[in-house]
């Protein structure tokens, strides 16, 4: 539980920095009702990961953060990602065997699945595994740890191939293409997702609409193996026919803030 509390504090610190650009040890200590010593340790850990820069009495936002840092991506368009996750969760039933990748949208999907019974979840995402560890049977794929995304990557992520077919697979993307399918920017990330996707009977891409026009190099699921795209209302109308022609369903959801 202590590790979870620390992670939640870190997320809140990053959220405050995103809004205010600067945080103080005194204010954070009061907000979390913990000692300044503990707050300084939190800030030190975040600085080591280049997510902020410590200054006298607190910390400031850094413009040199790792673009792929999981914590920062988790904050980006969070309500949209949660809406996509809620839609994806409708597909999952008690007792299903599914795959989740290491994306932030799949992290939000894992949040939605904590009340499911009897799930088997194969994932290369350490944060999703942590969320589901007490409510599902969680299997990690293996591979090399990539700290910026808290993921296991590389060609040795082979458990799904040995373990038999999974029902549903859910994947975040760097980009999508009706010609090339689901794509990643990193070769090692793509390799991990390719092996995970190959073990799934149905594959769904979960992404916010800003990914539609982004550059990516490495396909990991071809178009003929994609069952559906779950995205937001910003997904362009003109892009839908090409996906429908490939027999891929496009689900567009509207983000509504949750109380």
Question: Which among 20-34, 89-103, 137-151 has the top mean pLDDT?
Answer: 89-103
Regarding beta strands 175-177 and 181-184, do their DSSP bridges make them parallel or antiparallel, or are they unpaired? antiparallel
CB atoms within 10 A of CB 34: 15
From CA 245, how far away is CA 178, in angstroms rounded?
Answer: 9
pLDDT above 80: residue 64: no
pLDDT tier for residue 238 given thresholds of 50, 70 and 90:
very high
Q: What is the pLDDT of residue 7?
A: 73
Which domains are present in the chain?
Answer: 2-65 (1.10.10.10), 77-253 (3.40.50.1360)
Q: What is the pLDDT of residue 155?
A: 67
Q: What is the pLDDT of residue 66?
A: 46
End-to-end CA distance of the chain: give it in Å, rounded: 24
For the chain, what percent of residues have pLDDT higher than 90? 65
Q: Tokens 């369903």, residue?
A: 249
List the one residue out of 225, 208, 212 whose CA is nearest residue 83.
Answer: 208
Rounded to 10 degrees, the C-alpha dihedral 201/207/247/100 comes to 0
pLDDT tier for residue 111 given thresholds of 50, 70 and 90:
very high
Q: Please check whether residue 119 is in contact with residue 132, taking contact to mean a CB–CB distance below 8 angstroms.
A: yes
């Amino acid at each position: 539980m202590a590790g979870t509390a620390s992670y939640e504090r870190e997320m809140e610190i990053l959220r405050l920095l995103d809004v205010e650009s600067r945080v103080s040890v005194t204010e954070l200590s009061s907000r979390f009702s913990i000692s300044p010593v503990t707050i300084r340790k939190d800030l030190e850990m975040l600085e080591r990961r280049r997510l902020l820069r410590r200054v006298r009495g607190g910390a400031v936002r850094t413009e040199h953060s790792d673009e792929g840092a999981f914590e920062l991506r988790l904050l980006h368009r969070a309500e949209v990602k949660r809406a996509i996750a809620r839609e994806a969760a409708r597909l999952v039933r008690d007792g299903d065997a599914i795959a989740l990748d290491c994306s932030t949208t799949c992290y939000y999907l894992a949040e939605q699945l904590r009340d499911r019974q009897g799930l088997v979840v194969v994932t290369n995402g350490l944060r999703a595994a942590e969320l589901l560890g007490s409510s599902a049977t969680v299997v990690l794929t293996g591979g090399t740890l990539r700290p910026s995304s808290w993921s296991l990557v590389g060609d040795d992520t082979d458990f799904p191939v040995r373990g038999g077919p999974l029902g549903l697979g859910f994947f975040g993307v760097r980009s999508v293409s009706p010609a090339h399918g689901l794509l990643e920017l990193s070769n090692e990330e793509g390799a991990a997702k390719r092996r995970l996707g190959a073990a799934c009977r149905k594959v769904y891409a979960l992404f916010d609409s800003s990914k539609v026009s982004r550059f990516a190099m490495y396909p990991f699921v071809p178009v003929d193996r994609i069952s559906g795209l779950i995205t937001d209302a910003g997904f362009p109308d003109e892009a839908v026919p090409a996906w429908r022609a490939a027999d891929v369903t496009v689900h567009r959801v509207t983000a509504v803030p949750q109380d």
